[in-house]
Amino acid sequence: MLKSFLGRAVRVGVKPILRPNFSVAFQRRWVNGLTAMLPPPRGTKVHRQPMGALPAECLTFGEPAADLAILYLHGGGYNIGSARSYRVVTGRIARAAGVCVYTPDYRLAPEHPHPAALEDALSAYRWLRQQGVRHIALAGDSAGGGLVLATALALRDAGDQRPAALALMSPWTDLATRGETMKTHVKRDPSQSPDGLARWARGYANGLPLDHPLCSPLYADLRGLPPILVHVGSEEILLSDSLRLRERAFAAGVEIQVREFEGLWHDFQLHTGLLREADESLTELGQFLRERLDGCQVRNPA
């Protein structure tokens, strides 16, 4: 009953606003206002923690493990969203993982198109390394999930230390929107629409081909990426982005698991505290990241 109510609320209160009928500025205000009502779990500590010149937040729960960190890249189609608007998610991950979760306010399109967000994500990762954090995992949702993949690819190509693992929620991996569910799930998806995603994609790509591998990491060479865990809803138009990512990662020899949550929509984890599946997803993702971080400590203690 609650799942059905929340799905209808998203369809009525979110999906129409995310279409191109409304300006990006209005979408930012609307989404920030809605998510401001979603608090992190009780006991979460929120610290404003600049990562060099980049505004950011650090969320902790209890006594976090030393020398470990999770870098979270928020969603919002590269055009909207903020660290503040994702505290309900990052707080749950911090609790499940027992690790500090850092969320940078990376620059947003269309004012700051590609590669601004990627540059900021790389800067945040390298800042953590400069602070003495020895092992870092990456997590993100929607566009933030795509940005996680692009960041891991850029780190690999630059010869930086590999992240311990990648946790992705409903990742947007194909800005060219060629997935089958972009057609088959248009009416089923209560949250996203192809025209809304297309506008955000154009604003971010800044004239680059929409299948450029650092904008759409589905088309990249994925070899050498760390283990990946993906959670996605069965009703999403972006479902194909996760399923095709699994195929390409397998082909590249990358360890990947994709869990599909039946009857759920894009970024359903924002309903944590209300929706059992959202709580389950964030707990599983946080525990996955902590296990992989601990594994890095065992293999590379120094």
pLDDT per residue over 240-284, tens digit each?
A: 999 999 999 999 999 999 999 999 999 999 999 999 999 999 999
End-to-end CA distance of the chain: 51
Catalytic residue selected from 74, 135, 266, 271? 266
Catalytic residue selected from 57, 235, 236, 277? 236
Which long-range contacts link 276-280 to residues 24+ away (Cβ below 8 Å)? 277/3, 279/92
Catalytic residue selected from 82, 85, 142, 191? 142
Local confidence band at 297 (pLDDT 50, 70, 90 cut-offs): low
Catalytic status, residue 185: no
- Regarding pTM above 0.95, the answer is yes
pLDDT exceeds 60 at position 302? no
Using alpha carbons, select from 206, 262, 192, 196 the residue that is nearest to residue 234.
Answer: 262
Give the C-alpha separation, 291 to 298, whole Å. Answer: 11
Catalytic status, residue 266: yes
Q: Sheet harboring 135-141: ordered strands across? A: 44-48, 56-61, 100-104, 68-73, 135-141, 166-169, 228-233, 256-261
Residue the block writes with tokens 């569910």: 181
